[in-house]
Structure 1
Amino acid sequence: MRNWAGNLAYAAHDLVRPTSLEELADVLAVGGPVRALGSRHSFNDLADTTGTHVQVDGLDDGRPAVDLDTGTGVVSVNAGLRYGELSRALEAEGRAVTQLASLPHISVAGAVATATHGSGDSNRSLASAVVGLELMTTAGELRRITRDTDPEVFAGTVVSLGALGIVTRLELATVPAFQVRQDVALDLPWQTVLEHFDAVTGSAYSVSLFTSWDEPTVRAAWFKSVVSDGGGRRPEPVPGLPWAEHDVHPVPGVDPAACTAQHGVPGPSHERLSHFRLDHTPSAGEELQSEYLLPRRHAAEAIEAMRALGPRVAPLLLTGEIRTIAADDLWLSPFGEDSIGLHFTWHPRGAEVAALLPVIEDALAPFGARPHWGKVFAADPVALRAAYPRFEDFRALADRFDPQGRLRGGYVARLLG
């Protein structure tokens, strides 16, 4: 069995899909290594195990898969549900999540556990919407942890890398449903982006800048703007932006049919905030991905450092993306302050990408860059431990929830030691 991209063969000897909490408890009672597996969108062995993989997408705990409390706006969700499915169900109830990642195909639990994010100066990671979660420990104990009832440890249980238990359900804050329009500008001069970075990224609810790093301009800027009262105008962060007259895909030369609607056509937020449509396959999966997150205050310097590496990066790159993310308080989230993300979608040339990653990480190290947990990177576990001030608190929490270390497989085993 392989991951979504096909670059990793899992070491697990078994995959189980329990249909009830009792079945899940029986799986855990057998003993041995075990790990939760979501939509398989991790590009490294973070979710791997030499034992049993558990998927909870078919689990029925006696409650609806999407259970909205209309009084509080909090929705309780089956952990294996995909964000696109959740968003459609919420839209039917007049609600929405505040942010989505590029793909709506990823599972809620997997995205939360790895601090996956979208873009937007005021938008935090997907994990920041969590107000409570339920998980089953390796001892078979079902635990519910919320921000209100467990304030001392809650921030350590959300971005957990799957090291605390099998998450069965998450509770997310929602907002009233809203409409978004998407407009794409082409060929923004780098000088404009660097001199007016705050104006560019702050001109819409969500902004993504696409580049191959060796180009003389930012190839495309995707602006996703909230539409109020049926209106809404195209953003103008700087005068004279050249707007695309045709649909655009993030990867040059690829058919944009899989992309969400552009040219300012309003639609539900979940049909615009992701770059790709739920009912389309965004690519064949034959790619690798990396991403580095760093404080926004270093944006200009980090971008210039990457531009200097452009001639080395571009031949291996399908596309690069610059995003912004607001700060949160979660222990293993890389967003301790307002941040930018430098994302790389690579050709599936693993050895060449692996050789280049240390070069990129050295260039970004002065700016406090940390890798996305679920992408490919070179940073060793010792360096990553030191990059998270609450790491030792998290290790203690993992020891308490999983004293036998049964959940420590793949990169998590190397990280926790």
Structure 2
Amino acid sequence: MDDSYPTTSSRRPSSSLNVPNEILTTIFSVVVHSAPASEHPRVLSCISLVCRDWCAVVADSSELWTTVYMSHITDLPTAQLFFERSTPRLLDVILKFDFYVNWSISAKIAEVTMPYLHRFRTLNVEFDNPDTYLAFSNLYRTTASSPPYLSSLRLHYTGRTWSFAMIPNVPLLSSANNIVFLDLHRLPVNVVSHYSGLTMLSLYRIFLGHARLRDLFLASPSLETLILAALHTFDGPNTSSDLPPIDASSLRSLALSMDSSHRDSCVSGRCVISCLHMPNLQSLEVYGRCRSTAVGLGAHFGDLPKLRKLRLQHLVCSDHDGPFFRSLKRLELVDADLGGRCFPLPSLSSLLYDLDGGGTHYEWLADTCHRPGPPLRVQITDSKINQWVQGEGGWDEHAIVEICPRMSVKGMFDWAILECDREYRDTESDWFDSSSDSDSS
């Protein structure tokens, strides 16, 4: 963008529409921040071309320049302009690099961004070349102190399986006690231990054995939310001897995916997941990586006395899961099958029922809604369900029904990424070998 904008007082009303500049800034902010980060420069340029007054408002409004996006060295001039015009506001920085961003290019970008680390609020680094991460970590870890306002860090490796072992097992920052949210995508899990102040952690395609899962909670004693997507465990359900329990009493919310190896025949105490002691857990989301995965909730999670919200996706419940549902206030079933079982739900007040392509157990829904107690609040995404219930006598006074679009049915994590994960499933054993070598080193 051209940096030679005319300057006017930010307090002077716009002459074109006689609208105060403060209101124009608010409108521009909504427009800019509703666009993808990569489009912010183009949106700001379009607004600036309308008239000289709007151009001046855009240039003087620091809140419009707080999201910095870079994907190549050619983005540096624009990024520099964003850094300067956003002063003194906090920054959300997004760095997305493809394989052709080599060591020298990424090192140059790291050097340009380092002077502004003290204003970083969130940092998202996405790369598919291990050299990129190494260049950033080598420079960023030389800073004298951690960025004082950096609270969210995302490190996503999107490269090929064969280069996973090349990713260095080092943190991006030498000291980062301010970070409360960490999102790692296929990186060595030992990096987590460098962020002791975490309250939220998201791990994607990570191998976790019993020892590392225990160390994770020891390193992050304040962890309240944990997301384990495409989890792989070294100590799986077939472990021959009981594993010691892992203190996870800090957890309030847990979301994880489980494959068909975690069946309802799993012996409690012989699976990494079943070793978690979570007396304060209030929200649980379980995603079956294979459709219609039969997971024994009771065997894996034991007694959760404070559990109030349960979300199941692509799962079939076990006959032994009845006690697991007793304390629930909110139940979400997304392409999940209770097999027509009528589990006791004495405390249930809210229900989400979403079946892609329709379901065959509407009778269960009707029976659940007609249980004794106050009307049940029900969200459904398929009008056919409503039509069926109406044909069977209606909801009457037993339920308050809302028909909502499927796109609004979201959990703690965008599980759609797992649906697009087919390319790794055939090479999973190869990746396991390379990642095991990487972690062991």
Query: Which structure is higher in strand share?
Result: 1
Band the TM-score falls in, shorter-chain normalisation? under 0.3
**RCO comparison, higher one (Cα < 8 Å, 6+):** 1
Compare the two structures and name the one with the higher helix fraction: 2
TM-score (norm 2): 0.22
Greater Rg by CA: 2
